């Protein structure tokens, strides 16, 4: 079996297992890059003929170790690529497609957890000011979406999946139907968000909460592109994504409350381990404690 057919086989299994589109897409990109390298190296692409030396050579090439812009990949990104290759061949071996797993020797590199990329107060305020200054229905939608991400800590996929009927203004809540893990959840809203959402929704009772000019639901890709354009227009020098709004929400909540369990609940994390990345003590506080 050639690697392209094997990849289709693997992606089908991932879909059957209920893996998220993001996860499936990442595996697809990683294995396709390996398949491209094999073809360029003159390999037949037969998965039964791939050895552990081929896997090691691929992961040692500049194409695997650098981004499309030529920068060195972060250790975490390389670990994600190793995991994709290892699980792909592990699946083929378990399915009986190949006699031996050529990725059996792969090990993840040891690396620290990168701090969450949250916006500072100045960057956040400049972004919101830019969004508020734009005119038109699309601009109003973009501002409301970003304010919701910043004020409630939603994932972008959960936010764009919201319908008008999921908004309970009287109760100050949102009902999330699309979540990580597909478990419906309730999100509590601040009084400011309730007021803004009420004005934004107006007399609508059905349909997507965030829609295009034609009435179709906005996609995460479209929202991400619009967000990136707003970041540039606001003159922010750091790279931020819609997920940075979730980090900004979490760091702000922890700073105000000092309660990591509260942040865990607000982010709807299943495990406190996922929330611990926000529990980073600022050097100034350490110095003050030592001098006190």
How far apart CA 237 and CA 63 sit, in angstroms, is: 27
Spell out the alpha helix ranges (H) of the chain.
Answer: 3-16, 21-40, 52-60, 62-65, 75-94, 121-133, 137-152, 156-160, 191-201, 220-233, 242-257, 260-267, 272-275, 283-291
pTM across the whole model: 0.68
CA angle (229 as vertex; 80, 73 as ends), nearest 5: 20
- Is residue 290 one of the residues assigned to a domain? no
Percent of the chain with pLDDT over 90: 72
pLDDT of residue 287: 60
The answer to the question of residue 103 being in a domain is: no
The answer to whether 254 touches 278, Cβ cutoff 8 Å, is yes
129 and 67 within one domain: no
Q: Tell me the per-residue pLDDT of 204-238, one tens digit each, with 9 for 90 and over.
A: 999 999 999 999 999 999 999 999 999 999 999 89
In a domain, 76, yes or no: yes
Q: Are residues 274 and 143 in the same domain?
A: yes
- Report the CATH number that the domain containing residue 59 is assigned in CATH: 1.10.150
Read off the pLDDT band of 27 (50, 70, 90).
Answer: very high
- Reply yes or no on whether the pLDDT at 292 is more than 70: no
Domain containing residue 164: CATH number: 1.10.443.10
Q: Which domain holds residue 254?
A: 121-284
Cβ 102 vs Cβ 89: under 8 Å: yes
pLDDT value at residue 8: 96
- pLDDT tens figures, 112-125: 666 688 999 999 99
- 112 falls within a domain: no
Percent of the chain scoring above 70 in pLDDT: 92
**Nearest Cα residue to 159 out of 172, 148, 173:** 148
Last residue of a domain, one of 30, 59, 94: 94
CA angle (84 as vertex; 220, 39 as ends), nearest 5:
100
Residue 14 domain-assigned? Answer: yes
User: Residue 16: inside a domain, yes or no?
Assistant: yes
How does pLDDT run across 238-255, given as a tens digit for each residue? 999 999 999 999 999 998
Question: Would you give the distance in Å from CA 230 to the centre of its chain?
Answer: 19
Residue 212 lies inside a defined structural domain of this protein: yes
Asked if 183 and 233 sit in the same domain, the reply is yes
Structure tokens at 281: 């003590």
pLDDT band at 288 (very low <50, low <70, confident <90, very high): low
Q: Do 189 and 280 belong to one domain?
A: yes
Q: Can you give the pLDDT at residue 69?
A: 82
> Are residues 143 and 231 both part of a single domain?
yes
């Amino acid at each position: 079996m050639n690697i392209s057919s094997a990849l289709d086989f693997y992606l089908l299994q991932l879909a059957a297992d209920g893996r998220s589109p993001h996860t499936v897409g990442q595996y697809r990109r990683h294995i396709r890059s390996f398949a491209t390298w094999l073809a360029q190296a003159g390999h037949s692409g037969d998965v039964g003929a791939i050895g552990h030396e081929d896997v090691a050579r691929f992961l040692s090439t500049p194409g695997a170790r650098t981004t499309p812009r030529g920068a060195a990949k972060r250790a975490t990104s390389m670990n994600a690529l190793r995991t994709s290759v290892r699980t792909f061949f592990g699946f083929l071996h378990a399915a009986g497609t190949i006699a031996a797993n050529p990725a059996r020797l792969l090990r993840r590199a040891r690396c620290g957890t990168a701090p969450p990329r949250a916006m500072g107060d100045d960057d956040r305020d400049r972004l919101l000011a830019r969004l508020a200054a734009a005119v038109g229905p699309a601009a109003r939608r973009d501002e409301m979406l970003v304010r919701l991400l910043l004020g409630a800590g939603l994932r972008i996929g959960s936010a764009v999946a919201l319908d008008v009927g999921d908004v309970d203004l009287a109760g100050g809540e949102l009902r999330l139907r699309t979540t990580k893990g597909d478990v419906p959840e309730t999100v509590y809203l601040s009084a400011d968000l309730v007021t803004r959402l009420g004005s934004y929704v107006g007399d609508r009772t059905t349909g997507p909460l965030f829609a295009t000019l034609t009435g179709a639901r906005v996609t995460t890709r479209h929202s991400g592109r619009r967000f990136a354009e707003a970041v540039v227009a606001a003159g922010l020098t750091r790279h931020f994504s819609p997920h940075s709004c979730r980090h900004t929400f979490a760091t702000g909540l922890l700073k105000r409350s000092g309660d990591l369990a509260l942040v865990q609940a607000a982010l709807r994390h299943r495990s406190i381990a996922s929330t611990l990345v926000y529990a980073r003590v600022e050097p100034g506080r350490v110095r003050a404690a030592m001098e006190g």
